[in-house]
Amino acid sequence: MSEAIAVESPALILVPAAHARTNHDGHTRLSRRAVFLAVARRGLPNIFEATVVPAILFFVIVTTIGAPVAMAAVLVWGYGAMLRRVLRSARIPTVLLLATLGLTVKTLVGLLSGSTFAYFVQPVATTVVVAGVLVGSLLIGRPLVARFAHDFCPVAPDVASRPAVVRLFIGLTVLWAGAQLVTAATTFGMLVTLSVTQYVALKTVVCLGISITAIVITVSWSLRTARKEQLTFAAP
């Protein structure tokens, strides 16, 4: 097997089947259920920490204290999560890094403008920009999904360079660019039609639904590619 890739918790790494440990009957097994569970164990805590907790925190504080304090609180949460990993010399998940950078920009916009609408509309624009960055990564031949893959299931370097896997990363980058655009359109529609508390509560559910759908498609697509390439998922 290629050099081990460090992970924060038990996970699976995509490797050539010949390099993986075998099961009791001497054959490697590619289980859809096992892969989904491994991806969920690795990815969902990061998504929860980067998106769900800040949304809940904002909702509670904005309804009890006020918008400026809520904006500051979620920003403190994001940087606290990153600082904890720095102190532990742990890798900062890409989803957490991007979410915290987004929080920084929209908090500055919200506090300086004094407008809750400005605070919420900025992420909509950011989501469109992210979609553009994903498309741009394709144009320069470095699909960004290859970077995000490590947050959910590491890929051995020799596997990541295979033509079929490169095509997979390209396809998934297009998928996620589309998901970002759908999220932006849906979010903006809710922002201009709902109250702040309704928006905060519903946005998290809707955005998670879009993300989870994209994740399910991602895993299913990856499994098909893995089978065609005679790859398997194994403990690193």
pLDDT tens for 216-231 read: 888 788 888 878 877 6
Q: How confident is the model at residue 153 (pLDDT cuts 50, 70, 90)?
A: low
Q: Is the pLDDT of residue 207 over 80?
A: yes
Instruction: Evaluate whether residue 2 is within a structural domain.
Output: no
Yes or no: say if 174 and 139 are a contact pair by the CB < 8 Å rule. Answer: no
Q: How confident is the model at residue 99 (pLDDT cuts 50, 70, 90)?
A: confident
Whether 226 is covered by a domain: the verdict is: yes
> What is the residue range of 168's domain?
13-21+30-234
| Residue 220 belongs to some domain of the structure | yes
Does 69 reside within a domain? yes
Burial of 200 (0-12, 13-18, 19+ CB in 10 A): buried
78 within 8 A of 50, measured Cβ to Cβ: yes
Domain contains 203: yes
Tell me the C-alpha distance between 6 and 49, whole Å: 20
- Average the pLDDT over each of 35-49, 56-70, 94-108, 190-204 and give the range with the smallest value: 35-49
pLDDT at 55: 80
Task: Give residue 186's pLDDT.
Answer: 93
User: How many domains does one find in the chain?
Assistant: 1
High-pLDDT (> 70) share of the chain, %:
76
pLDDT of residue 38: 65
* pLDDT for res 4: 29
Residue 207 lies in a domain: yes
8 Å CB contact between 118 and 174: no
DSSP assignment of 106-157 equals: HHHHHHHHT-HHHHHHHHHHHHHHHHHHHHHHHHTT--THHHHHHHHS-B-H
Tell whether 124 is covered by a domain. yes
Q: Share the mean pLDDT of the chain.
A: 75
